[in-house]
Chain A
Amino acid sequence: MKIETTLEKIKDAVSRAQKISTKNLSLPILENVLLVAQGKYLTLRSTNLHVGVELTLPVKVKTEGEISVKLDVLSQIINSLHGENTVILEVIDNTLHISTEKSQMDIKLFPHDDFPTLPRVEDGVDITLPIGTLIDGVRSVVYSASLSDIKPEISSVYLYNENNELVFVSTDSFRLAEKRIVVDTKIDIDGLIVPVKNIQECIKVFAGIEGDVEIHLGKNQLSIESENIYFTSRIIDGNYPDYKQIIPNESNTDVVVLKDELIQSLRLINVFSDNFNQLSVKVDAKKGHLLLHSRNTDVGENNTSVDAAVTGSDIEMYLNHKYLSDVLPILSGDSIQFSFIEKNKPCLVRSVGDASFLYLIMPMNR
């Protein structure tokens, strides 16, 4: 194999290939990347058997061929090169010879026969979607997904469409996030459950890409294709919990606060946070504020008030402040609305004037 390409191109491809975690795998070959030079293209393949990615880039192919090298070695090399323009990769004897204007390197090859192929989704549903929409939707909810393996259905991001809206949902059963994005193209997703780790790797692989992608949904597998990237992931063949029935449609207390002020208060709260991240929230309608209180027996305690526009009755409840900090960066606009029903019922968080996103937090017991 012998190819010639620019540093910029190969750097981009290698760094994307590396977005897939290949730590602690039982099969050593998976720490490698497969390079295939064919026709006018170089393809890089990387997989951890949960997800897989193939990156194709146009290069000058002098001799076709297929090799496999350690991915992190290749990545370290490519990332250390600066200011060079042309990079030549050539197999000489049993090593990969990388040469630039200033450096010459030889790295060890591994047998490529054992490098797994990626599954293709054969029969299923096809969808075309701007990749930005997918990334946006996933980022809005993904932090709420459960990280335990006990219930694979909720250690996932759930996707479906309602008319022309694409709905993204995640929950770990203590809080829940839902994002709705209007799409122009006709889509038909009955209910797609993608493991949270896989979808996170997916959006990292596609970060910075623009334009439409083709999504193919099979029974157990999905694939997402852009012009140069083929990504495939296992999906969960199961049912997502019936989350809609728990979204409250009434409230007894509505509170509007400024986002920045709340973010600053939460930083203070964090200093005095206990093991349970417990935060006490007292809504005082008369005084027009939220009283936040946190206490840690080893540190001390803290009382902070946040100005608020309150409609409805006073209420006091305990929340995990981590759940609040998670969602604040996601909320658009500068005011946030909390809706409370009663002490032990979930509390609804929204951005004022933005109906596309909602967040539900279950209060803690004292």
Chain B
Amino acid sequence: MTLRTATMSTIEKKWKDVLTDIELEISRPNFNTWFKKTFAVKQEHGIFYLGVPNEFNREWLYTKFHDMILEKLKDIDPTITSIEYLVKRSGTPIEPVKQALSKGRTQENALPLENIQINKESNLNDRYSFNSFVVGPFNELAYSASQAIIKKPGVYNPLFIYGATGLGKTHLIQATGNKIKKDNEQLEIFYTSSEKFSQDYVNALKNNRINAFKNKYRSYDVLIMDDIQFFSGKEKLQEELFHLFNILYDKGKQIIFSSDKHPNYIVGLEDRLRSRFSAGMIVDVTKPDYESRAALLKTKATQKKTPIGDDVVDFLASSLDGNIRELEGILNAISIQTELRNRKLSINEVKTLIKNNIKPKKHLAVEEIVKTIAGFYNTDPEKIYDKTRKKEVVYVRQVAMYILREYFNISYPAIGKEIGGRDHTTVIHSYDRVVEHLKEDPNLQQEIEQLKAVLDV
């Protein structure tokens, strides 16, 4: 660090010396217009990088003063062989002063516009950092893997992170990207959602710019692709991704994927991609446990500067399930109320506040569920309860048992009893069969997904 500051100050000094010299040679208005806002950026391989406020400035320095500047720089440092002009906002950007804006306008409310903090080059959102990332047993492995990548990009290639929605996948991969960029400024990092990638691809096809598209994606040192499950069933896109992957992989560029499922369970994914996804490291993030939820709530509350009682944390952590996005939503509501009332909320106030926010746990009657599932497969619901062993009916019955077990948490014996008084071992067997099938049968996977949607689980 000290070394870096030292070099910084020497190039700044060099430029200052040159400026002193130039100031004497040209007229004051000329100097003020063209040189006053210039600044030294860096010096690398004999190239002196000079920051200028805009293109007009760059153009004119280049056409009019280039030779003079170069000569003077060479006098000071003979190793400098050329100059590059970079258009940059200098040093400290003007901080937006909120008060100044509202001054004299005390009666006006501003529109609640939010600034987007997305870096234009990397497409990463600065908001995501590890400072606000809570590590717990539920995401420990994913976190360590990303740390390893930050230390040495390419070490696990690709890194594939999967888990249900709202568990912090995007936060983790974006924070990883941000940190890599911070540590290695010269690396080209790009974050994209698979949807944006496919849009880009379609646009490139339409406009005959497919080569530009290819070159763009192939030039990155770190490519982060979110929600890869959307590639499912899109063959052309998968082929493009496959080639892109191979090229980046061969060059040892880090690739990070996220998805809501393990690659093996993504329906309609080509095998060659699946196997490539598995070549690096696959880690999951699961729902946070009680302690992690409590820790999360506390961290987020501190960030929002919302005072929150321990009893409230305890109540929220135990009554909400693991979706982090939901936790944040509720915390936002609390934060707004706290601000309005200008005091800490009591546990009872929080309870009334979130009454509407917490989805009541589903209490569907088994009968209803079975009816829906039977209806989905066009089977008579009565047959499910019967002893019939017709193949179609058995299949539906097994799926029903699986869903009751997996998504409604009903015990094996209870399911057995409900569905025609069967033994609990029968239910366990059915459950295992479906689990087994799910691994191989994309149709079944889809059916289960659809059923989940119909049953709203």
Interface residues of A (CB under 8 A from B): 26-29, 47, 49-50, 52, 114, 116-120, 148-151, 153-154, 171, 173-176, 186, 188, 218-221, 232, 234, 237-243, 245-246, 276, 278, 318, 320, 344, 346, 360, 362-366
Residues of B within 8 A of A174 (CB): 105, 108-111
Given A116-B60, A118-B56, A242-B114: A362 and B30 interface contact (C-beta under 8 Å): no
Could you say which of A52, A114, A118, A365 has the most chain B C-beta atoms within 10 Å of its C-beta? A114
Is the CB–CB distance between B115 and A186 below 8 Å? no
What does DSSP make chain A's interface, helix, strand, loop or mixed? loop
Q: Is the CB of B57 within 8 A of A344?
A: no
Evaluate contact between B59 and A118: CB separation under 8 angstroms: yes
Given A116-B60, A219-B87, also A27-B29 (CB < 8 A): yes
Q: How far is the CA of A101 from the CA of B46 in the complex (A)?
A: 61
B58 touching A362 by the CB < 8 A rule? no
Query: B111 contacts which chain A residues (CB < 8 A)?
Result: 171, 173-176, 243, 246, 346, 360, 362
Question: Residue B346 at the A interface, CB < 8 A?
Answer: no
A50 proximity list for chain B (CB < 8 A):
54, 56
CA distance A188 to B205 in the complex (A): 13
Interface bracket on B: 35 or more
Contact of A27 among B30, B55, B101 (CB under 8 A): B30
Query: A154 to chain B: which residues have CB within 8 Å?
Result: 113
When each residue 42-75 of chain B gets 1 if its CB lies under 8 Å from chain A and 0 otherwise, what string results?
A: 0000000000001111111001100000000000
List, sorted by A's number, 30 A–B pairs whose CB atoms are closer than 8 Å: A26-B32, A27-B29, A27-B30, A28-B29, A29-B29, A47-B56, A50-B54, A116-B64, A118-B56, A119-B56, A120-B59, A153-B115, A154-B113, A173-B110, A186-B206, A188-B207, A219-B87, A220-B87, A221-B54, A221-B87, A234-B55, A237-B120, A239-B118, A240-B116, A241-B113, A241-B115, A246-B113, A276-B105, A276-B108, A364-B109
**A28 to B30 Cα, complex, angstroms:** 9
Other contacts beyond A27-B30, A173-B110, A173-B111: 18, CB < 8 A: A26-B29, A27-B33, A49-B57, A116-B59, A117-B60, A118-B59, A119-B56, A186-B207, A188-B203, A218-B55, A220-B87, A240-B116, A241-B114, A246-B113, A318-B107, A362-B108, A365-B108, A366-B107
In the bound complex, CA of A332 to CA of B10 (Å): 61
Count of A-B residue pairs with CB < 8 Å: 119
> Which B22-43 residues sit within 8 Å CB-CB of chain A?
29-30, 32-33
- Say which one of B92-100, B229-237, B333-341, B381-389 lies at the interface with A: B92-100
Across-interface contacts of A120 in B (CB, < 8 A): 59
Residues of A within 8 A of B109 (CB): 174, 344, 362-365
Chain B residue nearest to A319 (CB atoms) is: B108
Q: Is B443 an interface residue (CB 8 A)?
A: no
Complex Cα gap A271–B370 (Å)? 72
Contact code string B311-329 (vs A, CB < 8 Å = 1, else 0)? 0000000000000000000
